[in-house]
Structures are given as structure tokens and as C-alpha cells.
Amino acid sequence: MQSNDAPSSCRVRLCSLWLLSLLLTAIVWGDEPTAATEKSATDVASPVSESKTSDAEQNEPAGLRPRRLAALGSAGVAAHYVGFRYFDRAWYQGEQRGNIRWLQDWSGNTYLHVDKGGHFMSGIFLSQSVSEAFTWTGITPRKAAVLGAMTSWGLLFEIEMRDAYFDQWGFSVPDFLANTAGVSVPLLHSLVPSTRIVDFKFSWFPSPLYRDYDARLAADLPRTRYAIDDYEGMTFWMTFAMNDVLRGRAKEVWPDWLGLALGYGATGMHGANVKSRGREREFLQLPDARGELVLSLDTDARYLPGDGEIWSLFKEQLNWLHLPAPAIRLYPTLRFYLLYL
């Protein structure tokens, strides 16, 4: 561990310089005048988007707010330091290497690529949150989306680089690509507003592997100790805003708040950090885990009644989740769910 302290501190300094350069870019870039056409290009004409901006926000003067930017920068640096200090103590305790351990885990035999959905959604959530934080400082939404994507990509890249020097982890190329795709989604939505018809959500209901951990441990059956590794209970969704797709009479009768969602998950997992299919699966007496494709209705939580800044913020955050709804499993076999959790 001690022999690699210098490389680790060097990487921390490089990341700090990366964050500082982004803040300087924000100061220079955000100080440019805002064009009216840019605002109109990034706004979507729908009841949801119109409700996001309060009268007070519309009356606020445009332009960069240095104090808010300084506060954001200070909070970001502090969170970065505290967060990675915690992970250094709680997570990165294994044997370090002197070179990068590259992982080309394309087979998905461990989690059937469900874990890539986690990387993808983490990238989206981080990029969107950071973009909104930059917008709060007075930077225009489109430029904030660019800065948010760059900042989020840099932070997730740093995590992969930290993983890269540990024997039990490594730099996973598929994880890195999933991160990159995720941070790009809010940027794409900002640059091409019509793409907001497609969005992404997440749902989780504890699987027996996690829920019955103690009993499964005693019986030597597949199990998952931590919720973060309970991939069998997770489903990742691609949602479609049908009201923006339909035309004519169909658009009139279709509820604004109702959409469709295509979800991917898996069943029959063999546990955490073990092979779940193939000849090297953990429990050879059990069958391979299987991926599942599910079609479901989707509720847009932003259409919930009521206004107010706090309530609107709550609805925005709630909309990250795919709420329980009727569904049909399309693959590997057909099955109807009265309520898919």
C-alpha cells in the first residue's frame, strides 16, 4: 500500500486540477451573454416543463452569479475530498498493483450486464444533477449541460482509475463505456430537445437472495449480503413519453402522465461477485441465470397535482423511479404481472 501512495496522491492532484479547470471554464463561458434563441431551443412545450420554472425564476436577471459558483466549487471540492477519503478507507483496502489491470468483461457471465445498467443510470443521475447545479449559478442550460457532462465523466473516470490499480477490481472497459453513455444522455436532451421523448428510470424490489440472506447462507444457496449487489432485484427501464408521440384522436384520449417502459433485469443469479452462467458458474447444480425483458406502463411523477418549489423538486426526484405498474414479460417467456415491482 505504501509504495503506491505517490501515484494515488498524483491522481488526486490531477483530478483537483480537472475540477479547477472546469470552474475556470464556467467563469469565462458563463459570463457570455445569453441568447434568447438558446433558451427557446432548450425548452420543451409541455405542462411539465412549463411548471418547472417559477415566476420568481423568470423575473431573475440572467448572467453568471460568482458567489453561487464559488459556493458550488467549494462544496464540490469538499465533497470530492471527503467522499474519496471515505472510499479509500472503506473500499480500497485490497492489494494494489504497479500497473493497470484491464478488464474486458464483455460476456456478462457475472451479472448478465445488469450492473452496466447501474453504471449507465449513475452517469445520467450525476450528469443531470451537476448540470442543474451549474444552471443554479446562472450558466445557461445548454452550457451547464456540457459542463455537467464533463465534470461527471471526469469523476466517474477517476473512480475507474482508482479501481484499475487493485487486484480485485481493475479498469472495466464496459463499465467505462456505460458511464460515458450515461453522462451523455442529459447533454443530448439539452442539445436535441426532441430526444426527451425517451428517458431512463430504475426500480428495485429486494430479491430472495438479499431478503433471505441468513437462511440461504446456512443452506449454501445463492445469496447477496448487500443491497447494492442485489442485481436480481433491479430493473432498468427505457421510457417513452407517448403523449409526445401520438397524433390526432389517440393523443387526445391518451393521459399526459402515462407512458410506456421497456425494462431489462435478470433472474436466477448465483450471488454477488460470482459467475451466474456458463461453465464457471458458482453453483453448477443450478441452471444459468437468465436475462428478462419486460414491457410496462410508466407513470410520469412530474404530473402529480400541486405546485411549490419543494413539491416540484420532490416530483422531479421521484420521477427517477419506475413506479409499480401492470407489465408483461416478453422474454424469455410470456408472463403477465398485475403489478410489477
pLDDT at site 204: 97
Residue 98 confidence class, pLDDT cut points 50, 70, 90: confident
Specify the pLDDT at position 283: 96
Is residue 5 predicted with pLDDT exceeding 70? no
- Per-residue pLDDT for 100 more than 50? yes
Residue 335 has pLDDT above 60, yes or no: yes
Given a cut of 80, is residue 321 above it in pLDDT? Answer: yes
Summarised one tens digit per residue, pLDDT across range 221-256 is 999 999 999 999 999 999 999 988 999 999 999 999
Instruction: Print the domain residue range for 117.
Output: 2-340
The rounded distance, in Å, linking the Cα atoms of 206 and 217 is 16
Report how far residue 162's alpha carbon sits from residue 314's, in angstroms, rounded to the nearest whole number: 33
Q: What pTM was estimated for this model as a whole? A: 0.83
Exposed e or buried b for every residue in 52-88, given b needs 16+ CB within 10 A?
eeeeeeeeeeeebbeeebeebbeebeeebeeebeeee
336 — pLDDT class (breaks 50, 70, 90): very high
pLDDT tens-digit series, residues 31-73: 444 433 344 333 434 544 443 444 334 334 458 899 999 999 9
Higher pLDDT, 91 or 306: 306
Pairing of strands 335-340, 290-299: unpaired
Cα-Cα-Cα-Cα dihedral of 53, 55, 56, 59, to 10°? 100
Whole-number pLDDT of residue 15? 54
Does 12 have pLDDT greater than 90?
Answer: no
CA–CA distance, 295 with 39 (Å, rounded to integer): 35
pLDDT 10s digits, 149-200: 999 999 999 999 988 888 778 899 999 999 999 999 999 999 999 999 999 9
Q: What is residue 175's predicted lDDT score, i.e. its pLDDT?
A: 95
**Count of the separate structural domains present in the chain:** 1
> Residue 163: its pLDDT value, please?
87
pLDDT at 126: 96
What's the confidence (pLDDT) of residue 26?
Answer: 55
Confidence band (pLDDT; 50, 70, 90) for 83?
Answer: confident
Categorize the per-residue pLDDT at 24 as very low, low, confident or very high, splitting at 50, 70 and 90: low
The rounded percent of the chain whose pLDDT value lies above 90 is: 68
pLDDT at 47: 44
